Amino acid sequence: MNSAWEVVIGLEIHTQLATISKIFSGAPTKYGASPNTQACLVDLGYPGVLPVLNAEVVRMACKFGLAVNARVASRCVFARKNYFYPDLPKGYQISQYELPIVHDGELIIKGDKGEDKRVGITRAHLEEDAGKSIHEGLDRSSRIDLNRAGTPLLEIVSEPDIRSAKEAVAYMRKIHSIVRYLEISDGNMQEGSFRCDANVSVRPHGQDKLGTRSELKNLNSFRFVEKAINFEIERQINVLEDGGEVAQETRFYDSDQDETRAMRSKEEANDYRYFPDPDLLPVELDEAFIAEVKKTLPELPDAKQTRFVKQYKLRAADAEILTVSRAVADYFEATVAAFKDHPKIAANWITGNLSAALNRDELDITDSKVNPVDLAELLSRIQDRTISGKMAKEVFEAMWADKGSADEIIEAKGMRQITDSSAIEKIVNIVLAKNPNQVEQYRAGKEKLLGFFVGQVMKESGGKANPSQVNRVLKAYLNKD
């Protein structure tokens, strides 16, 4: 990247809070319902209806604030953001403006050079989601589904402290991890419960004044965020280097073309005419309330990662992977609880074989076909040398396919590893006897043939001989004169 330019990025993340009912009404929030079957009169903005406030939404926002070291406001106010659009039934969105529920927080991420970098979180505020508009499908009409209208959102706004697309993704991943840890959001980007907008601008290095920024929307995956931002940075630099000016506008990211484009429908800058919503009173949270919420905070990713390194002697990189989600971390610890002495081995299996199987079957770890206790049993069998590491993979697949526990499968398939020295010696003798030429060649100096012999022994033993023992015995016998 052109080092004459400094990139300034701020992210706005909207995360849907995982409540059962809506923020201002008692309608359900489940995803995927038939159109307009989850929009009650309050959500539809009927004449005479009024909003009420969902307690769980407040608790969740408070949890988030505490998790990012922010101030939770003792008094916050809902404000109306006024504009007209068919998916906004009341003609205004109930949001928060001057007095948000959370402000002045921070997140530590890994910067571009691997250093610890602090990204400020200006604020996080509560608001209601709009419904959905479908513009394709009918000739002359757009279709409106208001099921989503009124779903609670937490809008998290970062300071413009981010300096590259990579940092942006790191920040976004961290927030994603935190909201899932706190169980305040399922973070499902495909279903729209975690959405990211990026404000991007560039300025010459050393300049204080911020450049004109554009707002990127429709960034619904980590990959797209990175690509869109990189494209936009380059675009803006090109515009400026050509002597032009960057327009302050909203652009959306087209993933097919890998480019950002100005949005046509954004008319003249909207005057939202924010004012405090008179139908809702100021929310007052006292120390006792905040203390109660604090008690419910789980161990957060950073703290867990640090503990894993210390407690289980894992490498930082492994600890990081294992703590991306609470579910994975819990799985790991449950496995270690049943297979105490070798956490590293457990870590490897979880990040390796288990992960691969989950990905292949598109399963979340909570739906894993092999549970921690069963995995621990399998690992114990490797450890006590009942089976070899290679065999274990086979056993694992069988366990995954519901064929039983590790022990059951080993028994059923007669997979017990042969570790008995005399048994191995017997097989080695058979193999050596069958291959006199190779024996001669080996003894004459072709030591590479060891691999051949190992293979033959393994074959002869039906794969059950313990490989390292086989190695040892072969060497001993071959080198005998």
Partner 1 sequence: MSLNKELVQHIATLARLQLEEDDFDDVVVKLSSIVDFFDQLQQIPTDNVEPMAHPLHQAQRLHPDVVTEINERDAIQTNSSTVQDGFYLVPKVIE
Partner 2 sequence: MVGQQQALHTQTLAELAKGLLNAEFSSYELVECLLSRIEEHDSSLNAFISVMAEQALTDAAASDKARAKGEVGLLGGLPIVHKDIFCTKGILTTCGSRMLENFISPYDASVVEQLSSAGAVILGKTNMDEFAMGSSNETSYFGPVRNPWDIERTPGGSSGGSAAAVAARLVPVATGTDTGGSIRQPAALTNTVGLKPTYGRVSRYGMIAFASSLDQAGVITRTAEDAAMLLTAMAGFDERDSTSVDHPVPDYVESLTRPLQGLRIGIIQQHFDSGLDEKCASRVKDALNVLEQQGASLIEIDLPNLDLSVPTYYVVATAECSSNLSRFDGVRFGYRADDAKDLLDLYCRSRGNGFGVEVKRRIMTGTYVLSAGYYDAYYLKAQKVRQLISQDFKNAFEKVDVIAGPTTPTPAFPLGDKMDNPITMYLNDIYTIGVNLAGLPGISVPCGFVDDLPVGLQIIGPHFAEETILACAHQYQQYTNWHQRCPEGYE
Residue ranges binding partner 2 (CB under 8 A): 41, 44-53, 80, 82, 84, 86, 89-92, 144, 271, 273-275, 278-281
Dist CA 225 CA 12 (whole Å): 12
List the single partner that 90 binds among partner 2, partner 1, none, CB under 5 to 8 Å by kind.
partner 2
Judged by CB, which is closer to partner 1: 8, or 40?
40
Up-side HSE of residue 405: CA atoms within 13 Å toward CB? 10
Closer to partner 1 by Cβ: residue 84 or 422: 84
Please give the Cα distance from 291 to 169 (Å, whole number). Answer: 32
**Residue 37 beta carbon to partner 2: minimum distance, rounded to whole angstroms:** 15
**419: closest CA among 390, 385, 377?**
385
In angstroms, what is the minimal distance from the CB of 171 to partner 2?
31
- Could you tell me the smallest distance in angstroms from the CB atom of residue 188 to partner 1? 19
Distance CA 232, CA 405 (A): 53
Residue spans of alpha helices (H) in 273-367 = 287-295, 301-312, 316-322, 326-338, 343-349, 355-360
Compute the least distance from the CB of residue 283 to partner 1, in Å: 5
> Distance (Å, rounded) from C-alpha 75 to C-alpha 7?
35
Helix (H) or strand (E) holding 203: strand 194-204
For residue 439, which of 391, 410, 480 has the smallest C-alpha distance? Answer: 480
Q: Which partner in partner 2, partner 1, none is near 49 (CB below 5 to 8 A by kind)?
A: partner 2
37 binds, among partner 1, partner 2, none (CB under 5 to 8 A by kind): partner 1
Which pair of structure tokens corresponds to residue 329?
Answer: 């971390």
Q: Which entry of partner 2, partner 1, none binds 133, CB below 5 to 8 A by partner kind?
A: partner 1
Q: How far is the CB of 256 from partner 1 (least distance, A)?
A: 16
Burial class of 402 by CB neighbour count within 10 A (0 to 12, 13 to 18, 19+): exposed
- Nearest-approach distance from CB 212 to partner 1, in angstroms: 23
Residue 356, contacted partner among partner 1, partner 2, none, CB below 5-8 A by kind: none
Residue with Cβ nearer partner 2 (84 or 242):
84
Q: Which one of partner 1, partner 2, none interacts with residue 414, CB within 5 to 8 A by kind?
A: none
Q: Give the type of residue at 474.
A: L
Q: Which CB sits closer to partner 2, 33 or 345?
A: 33
Per the structure block, which two tokens stand in for 372? 């921690």
